[in-house]
Amino acid sequence: MAPLTAEIGKTPLDSGWLAARSTEVQFTGTQLTTTHPPTGPSSPWMEALVPGTVLATLVKNKVVPDPFYGLENEAIIDIADAGREYYTFWFFTTFQCDLSANQHCDLNFRGINYSAEVHLNGHRMVLPKGMFRRHSLNVTDILHPDRSNLLAVLVHPPDHPGKIPPQGGQGGDHEIGKDVATQYVEGWDWMAPIRDRNTGIWDEVSISVTGPVKVIDPHLVSSFFDNYKRVYLHTTIELENKSAWIAECSLNIQVTTEVEESICLVEHLQTQHVSIPARSRLQYTFPPLFFYKPHLWWPNGMGKQSLYNVAIIVDVKGYGESDSWQQHFGFRKIESHIDGATGGRLFKVNGEPIFIRGGNWILSDGLLRLSKKRYSTDIKFHADMNFNMIRCWGGGLTERPEFYYYCDYYGILVWQEFWITGDVDGRGDPVSNPNGPLDHDLFLFCARDTVKLLRNHPSLALWVGGNEQIPPGDINAALKDYLRLHPDFESVDENGKPPEDFSQKLIDPSQYLDGTRIYIPGSLWDGFADGNGGFTDGPYEIQNPEDFFKDDYYKYGFNPEVGSVGMPVAATIRATMPPEGRQIPFFKKLPDGYVEEVPNPIWAYHKYIPYSKPSKVHDQIQLYGTPEDLDDFCFKAQLVNYIQYRALLEGWTSRMWSKYTGVLIWKTQNPWTGLRGQFYDHLLDQTAGFYGCRCAAEPIHVQLNLATYFIEVINTSSEELSDVAIEASVWDLEGTCPYYKVHECPSVPPKKVLPVVEMKYPKSTNPKPVYFLLLKLYKKSNYGILSRNFYWLHLSGGDYKLLEPYKKRKIPLKITSEVFNEGSTYKIQMLVQNTSKRTDSKLLLLKHGSTASQRDVNINTESLETNAGTGKEQEVGLFKRIYRCLAGKNDGLRVAEINGHDVGIAFFLHFSVHASKREHREGEDTRILPVHYSDNYFSLVPGEAMPIRISFEVPPGVSPRITLHGWNYHEQIVHDAV
């Protein structure tokens, strides 16, 4: 391999690894790293995934089947049956590092599960236990200066991997709770067991080269004054002098902000001098840096995510630059208190209340195949749904800095829990140990180290001791002490009561372990659920959509977990299950008229949750007619997904501040190919629920209260809406508009819900049994659309079965598209038009499409109306009005027309992107994933046009094909690059 030059800084060791089962390796660690190193991937050695786990490596090498496909997980030997030695593995690699005089090298492991022996060039070092702790080994004196360094790591599984009872359950037999490790690995009601319990070098491995002095865990804190006009940046660092003499150091701190791409403005540059005794550590606090009117960091939907770059450089007299460190940092202040009106915890960011709408998160992949690319997609998906918080559930990971980086970038607040869950730490079947892990000191060491790792991220909003449980008394008391707030960050409650204790006021806040975020002992305490630890989150099943709006739906102010269905599209089922797993559920009619869904065994194994709740909720898929096959079932499931999650969030938002302060949906995604509680599947294809959330959680929103039938306007922004109006139009299955009204709203106060008017339809005479409602909130001054919301509805006690013959209606569409591509990145701009003729000339505003979110390309809200006969020149002008120019190769405008003679709604349109292949195997999954859509699963009324933006990356040598599917459209190719 190429030599690693001894430049100051960190170098990841993330390639060239080999792995082998320890019982199949005949040499010792000393021999492996001196006389008998493996020479390549020949038995028993195989290419290893590092960072990664043993099971991930075995899957990569096809030694075991894919545990996420069908029932293949059952074919993999569980650690409880094979024994811990079966999943004890050697990992081996080489690296080069030629140090110069007075340089030092550390070998760093950011996460190993669960303990390890490290052998480097014949020297043995033992790493202590604990999944959530960093290890840094000074290997300066044992490196080979002029040849490869041989590194072998023997990784042992958790001490208490536990057994999986026949009935499964939450956390298996709960033995895993005795260790400081992830607890989901014994299986849950949404997850199959992970056979190796995540054994492996699961996080980053690196070497870091420094001069005589090393920088350790700087802590950045901002404190505000004068209503956020003045801010001070506080910085405390730890410095280690590895040399045998006193080090005279110049400490330089520089703060820059990017004003344009690749152009940075230096906001501050300060130099301090310090002496560090030989072979010792010293904590140093910089004088605070003053900023006037800084750019603030705001959560998604509240403003920009302004980030500064803070760099610290240590120069040592007689040596030069010894070490450096940098971090993106956002100026913001997060506060919270228990709201007197609702009893829920109310969060404020930079003094502004924020209504929390977000989701629960386990981790992106159950085999810990973690990557920056995957994290980028995951977090952008959450921002695209207009979410503002992710809760990192206690049975999963303490998430990685890369996860937090993207949360910083996209403005997603993070609720981070420690490694306690009620099921594994105090309840369950069998009843689990309430005293948490066996080694409390280890838990607390890992907790302190985790705080140091993550505390500089502006997205990190609060620490929580555990899921549905409080940590054992001594751990909880220690965490409260570690995470006590500095007086500058103690919240003032709604009555303006000041903090009581000013005794610590003079201590610089950066000298605290954290000091800036609250610690809550458990997810059901202190303003969450009933606030007293009662099991009052949930429910977790399908609901009648109107029930979310009712007074008695949920009694408490902040629900940390409410869950429901999550069926993916049919292509995902085909890609993740054999033919026998593609059978749709059997619908069993019960004596009371309700239907019970009986899924096939593979769906049951993948934790399928039904779309019916006998005695309470009629089957929501059968409302559209009994599905014929997998495609029909999955498409109807998307209709339900959209309605279910839009109603959930609209119901909560309808009671913003009067009853609720926030809600977190259980859960946003699955770390495997599960069939419940997700807005995008493990392959990264979105369900329609994704777009139901995106609609419902937009910062300014118009909605129909399904319980009262009042039209409501939601303004979660800090600005008053003035001079706006609502257009409400009802459409029937014949394409006519039996109801049309415009309702003026002179003003909508900030952070308020305004009920505007009760919908008179369907109370009018002769209402249609199935109808469509289109709501548009617009600016009267320029007709710019602020919010668009489309409903399909039926009369009370009815169903949607009349939509079944509607599939045969041929509604004409015109799709104008333009593609920009740069390398493997594609950005496609489309204008989708329902060209069926309108039947009512008074519908003046229907020419407008939907608005774009903050992160979409700019859209001009001038008229998007075009006639079916518009020429090329006019279309080019139209695109110039809608889109700003994008960099990259432009293939020009293309027009696809779908002919039809009917007038009506183009219903539930859905784009997808595929690899363009003239020939492919039957059943082959040709989708290109992930894809970011500005909207999907949308509908257009006659004469309406909507801009859609699509972006994605393609593998080398692949050309994309864009296809359209809809309720009344079979698969249509609308853009083919071939």
- Find the helix or strand (DSSP H, E) in which 32 lies: helix 29-32
The CA distance from 339 to 662, in Å, is 11
The CA distance from 385 to 339, in Å, is 26
Q: Give, rounded to a whole angstrom, the gap between the first and last alpha carbons of the chain.
A: 40
Active-site entry in 335, 468, 818, 944: 468
Task: Give the three-state DSSP class for 939.
Answer: strand
**Cα–Cα distance list, 620 to 588, 624, 738, 801 (Å):** 14, 8, 27, 11
Angle between helices 440-454 and 401-410 (to 10 degrees): 40
CA of residue 314 relative to chain centroid, distance: 36
**Cα–Cα distance list, 54 to 286, 369, 672 (Å):** 44, 11, 17
Tell me whether residue 335 is one of the annotated catalytic residues: no
Q: Are strands 518-520 and 460-464 parallel, antiparallel or unpaired?
A: parallel
Active-site entry in 561, 727, 818, 944: 561
Contacts for 841 with CB less than 8 Å, ≥ 6 apart: none
Q: Are 968 and 808 in contact (CB under 8 A)?
A: yes
Nearest CA among 617, 612, 609 for reference residue 596? 612
User: Which amino acid is it at 592?
Assistant: D
Burial of 547 (0-12, 13-18, 19+ CB in 10 A): middle
Angle between helices 630-654 and 688-696 (to 10 degrees): 20
Query: What helix, strand, coil percent values describe the chain, rounded to 5?
Result: 15, 35, 50
Q: Are 274 and 239 in contact (CB under 8 A)?
A: yes
- Find the helix or strand (DSSP H, E) in which 764 lies: none
The CA distance from 64 to 109, in Å, is 27
Tell me whether residue 47 is one of the annotated catalytic residues: no
Q: Are 232 and 222 in contact (CB under 8 A)?
A: yes
Q: What is the DSSP string of 368-398?
A: ----HHHHHHHHHHHHHTT--EEEE-TTS--
The CA distance from 528 to 534, in Å, is 10
CB neighbour burial string for 315-324, b if at least 16 within 10 angstroms, e if fewer:
bbeebeebbb
Residues classed as catalytic: 468, 561
